[in-house]
A and B are shown apart, each in its own frame.
Chain A
Amino acid sequence: MTELVEPRAMGRALVRRDGVQKVRGTATYAVDTPVDLPAYCHPVQATIARGRVTAMDTTDAEAVDGVLAVLTPFDAERLASTEDAEYAVLQSDEVAFRGQLIGVVIAETSEVAREAADRVRVSYAGQPHDTELSADRDDLYAPGQVNAGHETDTAEGDVAAAMAAAAVTVEQTYETAMYHNNPLEPHATTALWDAAGDGFLTLWDSTQGVHPDRAAVCQVFGLAEGQVQVICPYVGGGFGSKGTPHANVMLTAMAARALPGRAVRLALTRQQMFFLAGYRTPTIQQVQLAADRDGRLSAIAIDVVEQTSKIKEFAEQTGVPARMMYASPSRRTTHRLAALDVPVPSWMRAPGECPGMFGPEVAMDELAEALAIDPIELRIRNEPEVDPETGKPWSSRHLVECLREGAERFGWAGRGPRGHRDGDWLVGTGVAASVYPTLRQATSTATIRFAGGRYVVEIGAADLGTGSWTILPQIAADALGVDVADVDARIGDTRHPVASVAGGSSGTNTWGSAIVQAAREFRGTFGTDPHDGAEASGDVDQAAQDEDHAAYAFGAQFVEARVHADTGEVRVPRLLGVFAVGRVINPRTARSQFIGGMTMGLSMALHENSVFDTRIGQVANHDLAEYHVVSNADVDAVEAYWLDEHDPYVNAMGSKGIGEIGIVGTAAAVSNAVHHATGVRVRSLPITLDKLLPALP
């Protein structure tokens, strides 16, 4: 058990502290920061998917008036470390994927930089490339582990025997598409080396973690941490793609070193982001379920095939949620990768759980249909008493309550096996479960100082729109026992104490734990009447860490879908989610995270799809006109609710993380609703009308 902080400011729907700057546009994102006489970069990208650059003629580029420098693999500085091949920019003539960085122009203006980049003439020795993911490839391999350190494969019992013996089985293949995070703020950096060029580097970078960002830059350039400052008070969205730096950050720092004393800016174009800023791998999920006539599962299996780049392995943990979601004596999960000549995949909101709750949650709906059992009831019957993977008791698990409250709010009662017709529209409803692990990172420190009658909390945390600017003072105020109006937060700068990445829905859990620890140190040392300048620090690793429970957030998502009987157009007039996430620190910002995640899940269900052209080895629809993310008119009602859940095991706030669970399960619920409306089971995302039309009644 953890000593929980008494909530007074926590739980209040306070308005965002950075709100005024954001509605005026004065919040300074990475290339908004005023600097003297910035220079502008434009990258040169490979136009083949595999091979070598044999020559780069920069004569014409350098001749453009206003060009300051052109860097290529043949003359760029040698980096201290090329261990991470994604970051080894301009270090070799090899091309590992189309769009890879092979040069950069630095110029007085952005227009000149762009023109000159176009004038760099590149010669290649191309080789045949291999970019096609398929479950039938004979070179699929098992990675050593999958993302977040999970085991690649797990097995217990005998799935094959259970499948053979079961009264009812489901055995289907499900597919999720390739997705690009597409935060509205492109990946962008302003870099400034001090005039000596080998001393101090300042980076205004759009990142989900200034300290992890700095660590990567230090390694690549062989610098001590004291030689680099990363500043990022505001992040224009990240959704995982700014959780680790990408090659553009290293290229900007390299470009700036060519012009010491001068700030250099590089903002990727939207098109460039589809090559360089990470993405979610497409997944192919072979799912097996076996059950008795009452719907009790005897086997769950998921065999996942997905892709990685050849130069850097990233294995999305898609099979992981199937390890713990439902009770079953037999279970198998596997992950196999195809290493391709493609850009480097990376984190995207709820890696693992987001794609990995699509196949299994549609399969559960198929099983419910085969058994003629209500899909909510089927899930309730398979509720595990303890974590099936570890055997540990749950810190809290209220999935059943989420399903029941959601059913009540949504109006689920009386739902039949098929939807109904309303004029030209086929109408149906669907449900799916959500889950996300409650994570806490190992490293974070907070400092609290009393100055001028106010408490100042410093921690290098990030606010990607998640609300950190607002909620960290709420946590600090309660931990200190003071009014939240008397607390200031300072975040987003490596000059503040070290903080972990804003990822894995772990930010509040981790930074909040450090802040509570600092507050306890502060009160323990200085009491309730501190002197001006009193200061204390606390680390997350001092906070109680429960090892005896399995900690997850849960949720239930309900969807109404309307499918036009003649055109196959899909509309979702209503999305409703109920979540059990421990204590909600700020209902206003939390609700925005839930509805934002759910709406992104709707986008995944109906629209998003990076169409990979394997002939040339690139995403064909690499901009926001062709890669459709939901717009305002695509969204109707989205409602998010949460249980009043108390979890005494997770941390001193009782919070379980909220940034990612909203996207988990949504797409499955949409697919299940579309099936209820039409009788057509779409197992491959997105659910587009071409998949519906041929089968519509």
Chain B
Amino acid sequence: MDAEISLRVDGEAHRLTVDTRTTLLDALRERLGNTSPKKGCDHGQCGACTVLLDGERALTCLALAVAYDGAEVVTADGLAADGELHPVQQAFLDRDAFQCGYCTPGQVCSAVGVLDEVRRGWPSHASPDLTGDPELSHDEVAERMSGNICRCAAYVNIVPAVQQAGGQAS
């Protein structure tokens, strides 16, 4: 069964027809040709497909496209839509926070989401105080970024990159 939906992706409006089984990830990659989000597991276990969905980080492999009619999607490519890298992307470059690059667009989108969540005062499992403003400590960043697997294991560079982008360079 097909459905027609609207998506705004990296600032551009699209009308598209999707199989109701189509994930948002496959809609982006296979229907709209936006391959910035990657498929690493298709089960929400690796984080490579992370985008900003209506402003918050989300796993597109666990989202059915038909349920997101009218949504606004920003991919890692869209974060640099005007040609200038987002501070998170620049920090990933500065800190060599990746090797193969396959998890990186997801890491970058996840990091943008993390910084926003921290700004809004959302606590995490690693927060020492559930009511205070969380700080971008190593443990806080590592915990919040743990939904994004990096098999090249750049973790010890990813954490300082996120801290750098958050204005708390270590």
Contact B104 A624 (CB under 8 A): no
By a CB distance below 8 angstroms, the chain B residues around A417 are: none
Nearest CB in chain B: distance from A98 CB, A:
20
Report the separation of the CA atoms of residues A235 and B152 in the bound assembly, to the nearest whole angstrom. Answer: 12
Report the separation of the CA atoms of residues A182 and B138 in the bound assembly, to the nearest whole angstrom. Answer: 26
> From A624, which residue of chain B is reached at the shortest CB distance?
B45
> From B89, which residue of chain A is reached at the shortest CB distance?
A23
Nearest CB in chain B: distance from A266 CB, A:
13
Asked whether any CB of chain A lies closer than 8 Å to the CB of B24, the reply is: no
Contact B103 A633 (CB under 8 A): no
Q: Size range of the interface on B?
A: 35 or more
Q: Could you give, for residues 94-127 of chain A, a 1 whenever the CB lies within 8 Å of some chain B CB and a 0 otherwise?
A: 0000000000000001111001000000000000
> Given A23-B108, A183-B102, are A623 and B151 also a contact pair (CB < 8 Å)?
no
Q: Could you give, for residues 215-236 of chain A, a 1 whenever the CB lies within 8 Å of some chain B CB and a 0 otherwise?
A: 0000000000000000000111
Q: Could you give, for residues 133-159 of chain B, a 1 whenever the CB lies within 8 Å of some chain A CB and a 0 otherwise?
A: 000001101110111111111111111
By a CB distance below 8 angstroms, the chain A residues around B102 are: 29, 183-185, 236-237
Give chain A interface residues in 9-35, CB to chain B under 8 Å. Answer: 15-16, 18-29, 31-32, 34
| CB contact between B155 and one of A23, A235, A237, A599 (< 8 Å): that residue | A599
Report the separation of the CA atoms of residues A352 and B79 in the bound assembly, to the nearest whole angstrom. Answer: 43
Asked whether any CB of chain A lies closer than 8 Å to the CB of B163, the reply is: no
By a CB distance below 8 angstroms, the chain B residues around A32 are: 29, 35
Report the separation of the CA atoms of residues A633 and B33 in the bound assembly, to the nearest whole angstrom. Answer: 33
| CB contact between B35 and one of A25, A237, A629 (< 8 Å): that residue | A25
Q: Could you give, for residues 182-208 of chain A, a 1 whenever the CB lies within 8 Å of some chain B CB and a 0 otherwise?
A: 111110000000000000000000000
Report the separation of the CA atoms of residues A465 and B79 in the bound assembly, to the nearest whole angstrom. Answer: 22
Contact A20 B85 (CB under 8 A): yes
By a CB distance below 8 angstroms, the chain B residues around A22 are: 98, 101, 104
Q: Is the interface of A mostly helix, strand, loop or mixed?
A: loop
| CB contact between B39 and one of A15, A16, A267 (< 8 Å): that residue | A267
By a CB distance below 8 angstroms, the chain B residues around A600 are: 151, 153
> Given A25-B77, A269-B42, are A235 and B100 also a contact pair (CB < 8 Å)?
yes
Nearest CB in chain B: distance from A591 CB, A:
7
> Given A111-B21, A636-B138, are A15 and B93 also a contact pair (CB < 8 Å)?
yes
Asked whether any CB of chain B lies closer than 8 Å to the CB of A596, the reply is: yes
By a CB distance below 8 angstroms, the chain B residues around A630 are: 153, 155
Report the separation of the CA atoms of residues A111 and B89 in the bound assembly, to the nearest whole angstrom. Answer: 33
Contact B38 A184 (CB under 8 A): yes
Residue from B19, B75, B158 having most chain A Cβ neighbours under 10 A:
B19
Q: Could you give, for residues 63-86 of chain A, a 1 whenever the CB lies within 8 Å of some chain B CB and a 0 otherwise?
A: 000000000000000000000000
By a CB distance below 8 angstroms, the chain B residues around A513 are: none
| CB contact between B153 and one of A27, A111, A267, A595 (< 8 Å): that residue | A595
> Given A28-B35, A110-B26, A635-B156, are A465 and B101 also a contact pair (CB < 8 Å)?
yes
Nearest CB in chain B: distance from A391 CB, A:
38
Contact B154 A592 (CB under 8 A): yes
> From B103, which residue of chain A is reached at the shortest CB distance?
A184
Asked whether any CB of chain B lies closer than 8 Å to the CB of A691, the reply is: no
Contact B100 A184 (CB under 8 A): yes
Residue from B85, B147, B156 having most chain A Cβ neighbours under 10 A:
B156
Residue from A29, A109, A184, A234 having most chain B Cβ neighbours under 10 A:
A184
Nearest CB in chain B: distance from A111 CB, A:
5
By a CB distance below 8 angstroms, the chain A residues around B157 are: 592, 595
> From B79, which residue of chain A is reached at the shortest CB distance?
A24
Asked whether any CB of chain B lies closer than 8 Å to the CB of A431, the reply is: no
Asked whether any CB of chain A lies closer than 8 Å to the CB of B63, the reply is: no
Give chain B interface residues in 100-126, CB to chain A under 8 Å. Answer: 100-105, 108, 126
Give chain A interface residues in 311-356, CB to chain B under 8 Å. Answer: none
Asked whether any CB of chain B lies closer than 8 Å to the CB of A58, the reply is: no
> Given A18-B101, A625-B45, are A588 and B155 also a contact pair (CB < 8 Å)?
no
Report the separation of the CA atoms of residues A236 and B39 in the bound assembly, to the nearest whole angstrom. Answer: 11
Asked whether any CB of chain A lies closer than 8 Å to the CB of B164, the reply is: no
Asked whether any CB of chain A lies closer than 8 Å to the CB of B80, the reply is: yes
> Given A24-B77, A632-B155, are A237 and B100 also a contact pair (CB < 8 Å)?
yes
Asked whether any CB of chain A lies closer than 8 Å to the CB of B22, the reply is: yes
Nearest CB in chain B: distance from A226 CB, A:
30
Contact B138 A184 (CB under 8 A): no
Nearest CB in chain B: distance from A598 CB, A:
8
Contact A25 B40 (CB under 8 A): no
> From A237, which residue of chain B is reached at the shortest CB distance?
B100
Contact B151 A183 (CB under 8 A): yes
Report the separation of the CA atoms of residues A184 and B107 in the bound assembly, to the nearest whole angstrom. Answer: 12
By a CB distance below 8 angstroms, the chain A residues around B141 are: 632
Contact B100 A465 (CB under 8 A): yes
Contact A629 B149 (CB under 8 A): yes
Report the separation of the CA atoms of residues A19 and B100 in the bound assembly, to the nearest whole angstrom. Answer: 10
Contact B96 A592 (CB under 8 A): yes
| CB contact between A25 and one of B19, B37, B43, B153 (< 8 Å): that residue | B37
> Given A29-B38, A465-B98, A632-B159, are A184 and B105 also a contact pair (CB < 8 Å)?
no
Query: Hey, which bits of chain B sit against chain A, CB under 8 A?
Result: 19, 21-22, 26, 29-30, 33, 35-43, 45-46, 48, 75-77, 79-80, 85, 89, 92-94, 96, 98-105, 108, 126, 138-139, 141-143, 145-159
Which 10 pairs show the lowest CB-CB distances between chains A and B? A465-B99, A25-B36, A236-B102, A22-B101, A465-B100, A25-B105, A599-B153, A32-B35, A624-B45, A23-B89
Besides the known contacts A23-B101, A464-B100, A636-B138, 20 further A-B residue pairs in the complex with CB atoms under 8 A apart = A23-B85, A23-B104, A25-B76, A32-B29, A183-B102, A184-B48, A184-B150, A184-B152, A236-B100, A236-B101, A595-B156, A624-B41, A631-B146, A631-B149, A632-B141, A632-B145, A632-B158, A633-B139, A633-B145, A633-B146
10 examples of A-B residue contacts, CB within 8 angstroms = A19-B92, A20-B85, A21-B101, A111-B26, A236-B100, A237-B152, A588-B96, A589-B96, A629-B151, A631-B155
